[in-house]
Structure 1
């Protein structure tokens, strides 16, 4: 089926799927994703996608597309030159016609870098903004939550500071209660069809984030041997996207 002919199905909770390839983008659309987070190198937690990938996604996606802005792996403490680079990548997202960006910057002590985030929010004016999992590193979640609200972020992508959103369920519940609808808390990190009801049960959850991935088929041995592919690489699985989307469909009480 051509992705141009795929139309999103309405559900009670929005599904965002992160993808790092054109094939993954097509699978996310086919499976019924409501929004796409575009990136590269998901095996590293996601890095900034190329300008060409942004343009392709904007051209073929029937649903909103946001670009992750993370210039390298590792922490989220960025130099002046790296912040300049992130600003230019935000402009590439705007030029491509994307709907939003996903950003996050830490201070060396892991608190949110309010100065840098203010600068990037200004650069992203007109684009919707998600605060990514740099939030999960902060020493005080209540302080960081209020800072994110003050900065004007639409949502926080979070695992509740744990290795997975399921393990961080108690913190996610606390964040939802404290935010009182002032910002969306979007669970991410190991979210799938089997455990998503736990997050939907939290008061205020209206969107979830998942990779919906499966192990990739083996490539030619020489490709892996020369370091061009990882033996544990994964790909977006349309059936997992479809299953997660189905789990979000709650029968109407009407």
Structure 2
């Protein structure tokens, strides 16, 4: 399995790379589920020397985006391609009254804007899987869109609880689509996720940090999230150990 670490800053990229991560997902506002980072942050992050996949999500909340929001995402992706991103992480759903589905129109526009760099569809798919969407049918839709991988917990609140669906996604993908397990993943979960056959695991490996300076009106709390080197290394060791164990 490959190891992807979700990070929010350049230091996080460095910590993940030094800890043995295969790639990072770069975003801002992880407590909100992640939002599109600034272009300046992306430009510096891509200079660290590891693959940077950038989350493109214009706001918090759900995944039903307006045409204007999709246009913003397209422009962001075009800029990210120029900034040297190795990939983008996107997702969009639609609800026409007949049920929630992947927004194929929006996703096709986002994939087209990516101009050949890798595209990951994020955990918007868990909205569908939690509503008993057929894993095989979902895989076929994603493969048809031309994306490289899907990030999912198997529709469960956490990836360890969705291992049965993850295994079904892997079987349906048959190597045509990478299946990456994400959602409250911990080092102790790696063996079970490896047994499910997933291609990669995704976690934030973050811990609270404290701003040394005083807080003021409008400055927000002094506590923020920071990528923890020990957690990254523990995750890497667990991935390597899981790879040595027979399935």
- Structure 2 length-normalised TM: 0.89
Aligned counterpart in structure 2 of residue 81 of structure 1, from 50, 64, 68:
68
Does the aligned pair in 2 maintain the 1:16–1:209 contact within 8 Å? yes
Greater share of residues in strand? 2
Residue correspondence of structure 1 range 53-72 to structure 2 within 5 A: 53-60=41-48, 62-72=49-59
Does the aligned pair in 1 maintain the 2:57–2:73 contact within 8 Å? yes
- Do structure 1's residue 198 and structure 2's residue 188 form an aligned pair? no
Equivalent-residue separation in structure 1 for 2:38 and 2:157 (angstroms): 28
Q: What residue is the counterpart of 1:5 in the other structure?
A: none
- Structure 1 length-normalised TM: 0.87
Q: What residue is the counterpart of 2:215 in the other structure?
A: 222
Q: What residue is the counterpart of 1:244 in the other structure?
A: 235
Per the TM alignment, residue 217 of structure 1 is displaced from its structure 2 partner at its CA by 3.1
Gaps of 5+ in 1: 1-12
Equivalent-residue separation in structure 1 for 2:14 and 2:100 (angstroms): 36
Per the TM alignment, residue 96 of structure 1 is displaced from its structure 2 partner at its CA by 0.6
| Inter-CA distance 167–104: structure 2 relative to 1 (3 Å threshold) | same
Per the TM alignment, residue 226 of structure 1 is displaced from its structure 2 partner at its CA by 4.0
Q: Secondary structure of the residue that 1:40 maps to in structure 2?
A: coil
Aligned counterpart in structure 1 of residue 170 of structure 2, from 176, 179, 182:
176
Large movers: runs of 4+ above 4 Å: 218-221
Residue correspondence of structure 1 range 120-139 to structure 2 within 5 A: 120-138=110-128, 139=131
| Inter-CA distance 51–211: structure 2 relative to 1 (3 Å threshold) | same
Q: What residue is the counterpart of 2:26 in the other structure?
A: 38
Q: Secondary structure of the residue that 1:201 maps to in structure 2?
A: helix
Equivalent-residue separation in structure 2 for 1:45 and 1:145 (angstroms): 23
Equivalent-residue separation in structure 1 for 2:79 and 2:25 (angstroms): 15
Equivalent-residue separation in structure 1 for 2:212 and 2:134 (angstroms): 42
Does the aligned pair in 2 maintain the 1:111–1:144 contact within 8 Å? no
Per the TM alignment, residue 103 of structure 1 is displaced from its structure 2 partner at its CA by 0.8
- Do structure 1's residue 116 and structure 2's residue 106 form an aligned pair? yes
Equivalent-residue separation in structure 2 for 1:123 and 1:114 (angstroms): 14
